[in-house]
Structure formats: C-alpha cells, structure tokens
Amino acid sequence: MRQRNKPWAEEMFAEHPQFVPTTPSERKGNWNDVFQNNNPLHLEVGTGKGQFIIGMAKQNPDVNYIGLELSSSVMVSALEKLIVEDVPNVRLLNENAQDLQSLFEENEVSRIYLNFSDPWPKNRHEKRRLTYKTFLDLYRVVMSPKGEVHFKTDNQGLFEYSLHSFSAYGMTLNHVSLDLHQSGMEDNVMTEYEEKFSSKGSRIYRCEAKFRI
C-alpha cells in the first residue's frame, strides 16, 4: 500500500533527538553510550509504524532496541507512538538497511528482527529481499557470534525462499513455525501487519536463524 507523503516528518525527527539520534553513523560502536547502559542491542530492520519494537521494549526493559526504517513517512508514526509511550530503551533510525556497516560496529548487535518484509516476488527483484545473501553478509558482520535473526511473515513464498537462503548460507534454523498463532508461543508481540493478516485468518510463518561460529 502506498503511504501518504509526510514532508514534515524529518522536521519532527529533528525535534526529538532523544528518540531519533542525529548523525547516527557517529554512534557506530558506541550505542551503549547512547542508551547509557551495557544491555544487549536488538535491531529491527523495517520497523514500520513501531508497534512491535515498542511492545518488545516494554516487555524487555533490559534490552536496547533500535528500529531501522527507510520511509520517513512511515517511521514518523513510530515516533508518534514512542513520544506517547516514552519508552527509554528504543531509538529510531531513518536509514537504509544497506548501510548497516556504517551504523554498527562488528559484533555490536545481538539480534535482528525481520518482520513482514516486502516479499519482492519477481525474480528480477530477488536481491532486494532482506533475506538475500548480500543482506545476510551485512547481518553477519554487525552481529555478535551468537546472534540470531528472527523472521516473521505472512507470505509463504518469501518464507520458503528465506528458509532456503538461511540454510544455503550455512545458518542453523530453530523454532520453525508454519502457523505461529497455533504454535503455543508465549510473549509473541504482534506488528500492525500481523494483527491485520491474522484477523483475516492468514497463517503467520516464523523462524529463528543463527550463524554458525
């Protein structure tokens, strides 16, 4: 769905540096200083309107969360939520996932969440999928040796593709679910898309993938 352009979004980001850090590339390797603690750092790539990351941060106050979102018109909705909730362990970055290495030092991130990513179903767009091998290369660099990628989608084709991509890369798969909401998983925090699709009876697919040391 095409999002309505919100030209005032970047001005709003600038007005709230406590939630949207300025010059984030200068924080590389020092994100614990931003949060003023040594808690593990979890990153959501494609944070959308922020429901998931804010929910996770409230559920896990001993973890620092960063939400990365390319669209400023989408991310401003996450910022609006964050201003109301005032959750101290969340920061938002209006950045491209291709630039992860300019934002994070090697081994700085403990976990990456990929939630309802664009499936890019056409073969010629394969390289744009966030589970394509070049993105896995980026994740591996910024993640700690025991770090995990947690992936959720309603798109069966993307899920099957991603399982193959993770496996071909040599990653270990855990907790693979073909119907998350019937799996008995506790403490699942839903995204806006997840609520929408599951309410219509769509299956939610989920897995965890870990790089081999």
**Any idea which residues carry the catalytic annotation?**
118
**Residue environment code for 21-48, b if the CB has 16+ CB neighbours within 10 A, otherwise e:** beebeebeeebeeebeeebbbbbbbbbb
From 6, 17, 8, select the one nearest 83 (Cα to Cα): 17
3-state secondary structure of 65: strand
- Cβ neighbours for 10, distance < 8 A, ≥ 6 positions apart: 72, 94
Q: E strands of the chain, at which residues?
A: 41-45, 64-68, 90-93, 109-115, 143-153, 172-177, 205-210
> What does the block give as tokens for 151?
């992936």
From 207, 44, 40, select the one nearest 115 (Cα to Cα): 44
For residues 139 and 100, is the Cβ–Cβ distance under 8 A?
yes
> What does the block give as tokens for 4?
């309505």
3-state secondary structure of 155: coil
